[in-house]
Structure 1
Amino acid sequence: MNKILIIEDNIEIAEMERDFLEASDFAVTIETDGEAGLAELAQGGYSLVLLDIMLPGRDGFAICRDIRAKSEVPVLIVSARGEDIDKIRGLGLGADDYITKPFSPGELIARVKSHITRYERVLRQGAETGAAEAAAAPSQELVRGELRIERLSHRVFLGKKELTLPNKEYELLTFLAEHPGIVFSKEQLFEHVWGLDAIGDTATVMVHVNRIRSRIEPDPAHPIYIETVWGAGYRFREN
């Protein structure tokens, strides 16, 4: 049974989220402040974190930054603050998704399941990388200019420097690099990487593309890897 950690100071909202999740066979722990949530997450075993922004003491943005510095567990911000600047900030700090209150139970459960499925797949791929896979590794590399993506080991290099990318940034970069020259709309990318159709906020894609560019582009304002095709979407440039 997957374990979910809820960090939410409004106990009524936290208990409502818990009820939705337990009805879908998740085990749930609630913490009402960020520091207690970090301590609980450090105990291990959690598959996903639901994180509020408006917390006593340090806010959810600071807590998200601390989580991402130590763990790749999916973080879904659930907040009444629905302004674009809050979404961009949360996603920029490493959150995997941003859900605005009020939300439907179906949307919450769908997003939770999608993120856990993808996270478990990444962990499984890492655990299965052994001697046989290492031997096959050369055919599993994507090389685009100075950029090298090792799909089996889930590693990305720019020249000789290894980059550290959160799961969603890695998946988005890999998908685009696997299809050079093809333009994908934000909706297509959201559906492929996040695994959800129609209910997603495509600003999530824009934020993640900008984060990837800040890591791989010599000049993010003039990208040489991921191009914006105005009115259409994004394209990985063919070398």
Structure 2
Amino acid sequence: MSRAERASQAVILVVEDEESYVDALTVGLGREGFEVVVARTGAEALTRFSEVNPDLVLLDVMLPNVSGLDVCREIRASSNVPIIMVTAKSSEIDTVVGLEVGADDYVTKPYRLRELVARIGAVMRRRSPTPVDGERDTDGAMHDPLADRLVGGDVTVDLDRHEVTVRGEPVNLPLKEFDLLTVLLENPGRVLSRATLIDRVWGGDYVGDTKTLDVHIKRLRSRVEPNPSTPERIVTVRGVGYKFQSVS
């Protein structure tokens, strides 16, 4: 089915092998207005992903034959589609690994449908850029109204094409990292609190703690910093949040 044929109905690829969750999600998400496509193994998930081109993937970590983490890595190699990982474990290491391989968010079983729908809405929400055209901050970042770009030293974000270049080389960013970098570049040199960043990137209905933000910052630094262990562009302001500093 093409996107035109789907009209405005968002398609969620549910990758889950527990039938009780499959049945509940198919009914519950269907009532929320989503079209649900189901895959029960990692291998089937990759096939179905190519076939349906979903708007979001709800991906269980524990799957037969190919793990959810491997499925996430495979999808991230070619797509920025939002991914929410589902885990039966509440340990920090399981959560962090899921985020580090490219997931945008996570939920832990058992979860409530209301919580899941809130996370899906926050992940899928797109934010419109807000800077004043042509405005340049003292730290050097500028919004280019002709190309609809944000430029901060050797980092450039093309908002229309959803492309990022760092030191002249293209960098493929997942959705949330792209949004996070955009917010930081829109406010060069300004310290943004963790609460502000979460609200701007994940939305006011975000359910969770700041761990998700910190993991995404770590991943973003690995892509834009020459030496992520000593960041010069995305700087931590201890006890407050983060700021972007332009470095040519």
Normalised to the residue count of structure 1, the TM-score between the two structures is 0.87
- Return 206-215 or 156-165, whichever deviates more: 156-165
Provide runs of 4+ in structure 1 moved above 6 Å: none
1:61 aligns with 2:69: yes
Give 1:151 deviation, angstroms.
2.2
What is residue 6 of structure 2 aligned with on the other side? none
- 2:157–2:163: 8 Å Cα contact kept in structure 1? yes
What is residue 111 of structure 1 aligned with on the other side? 119
1:221 aligns with 2:229: yes
Deviations along 1:85-106, whole A, 9 cap, x unmatched? 1111111111111111122211
- 1:20–1:109: 8 Å Cα contact kept in structure 2? no
- 2:87–2:108: 8 Å Cα contact kept in structure 1? yes
CA distance in 2, matches of 1:43, 1:82: 32
Count of equivalent residues: 225
- 2:119–2:207: 8 Å Cα contact kept in structure 1? no
- 1:190–1:200: 8 Å Cα contact kept in structure 2? no
CA distance in 2, matches of 1:195, 1:105: 18
CA distance in 1, matches of 2:198, 2:96: 15
Task: Structure 2: state its 5+ residue gaps.
Answer: 1-8, 130-143
Task: Structure 1: state its 5+ residue gaps.
Answer: 123-133
1:192 aligns with 2:170: no
Normalised to the residue count of structure 2, the TM-score between the two structures is 0.84
Identity of aligned residues (%): 40
Q: 2:56 aligns with which of 29, 48, 54?
A: 48
Equivalent positions of 1:53-202 (< 5 A) are 53-118=61-126, 136-137=146-147, 140-197=148-205, 199-202=207-210
What is residue 128 of structure 1 aligned with on the other side? none
Amino acid at match of 1:214: S
- 2:154–2:246: 8 Å Cα contact kept in structure 1? no
